[in-house]
Amino acid sequence: MSSRLLRAILLVCGTISVALGVIGIFLPLMPTTVFLLLAAACYARSSERFYRKLVENRWLGGYIRRGREGGGMSRRQKAVTLAMLWAGILASAIWSVDAWWIRGVLVAIAVSVTIHVVRIPALKINLSPAPLDEHGV
| Per-residue pLDDT tens digits for 45-88 | 999 999 999 999 999 998 888 777 777 777 887 888 888 889 88
CA 22 to each of CA 31, 40, 63, 102: distance values in angstroms, whole numbers, following the listed order: 9, 13, 11, 27
- Does the predicted TM-score (pTM) go above 0.75? no
Residues paired with 122 in a beta bridge: 73
Question: Tens of pLDDT along 10-34?
Answer: 999 999 999 999 998 887 667 788 8
Task: Provide the greatest CA pair distance for the chain.
Answer: 70
Query: Residue 76: which of 109, 125, 110 has the closest Cα?
Result: 125
Who contacts 31 (Cβ-Cβ below 8 Å, separation ≥6)? 21, 24
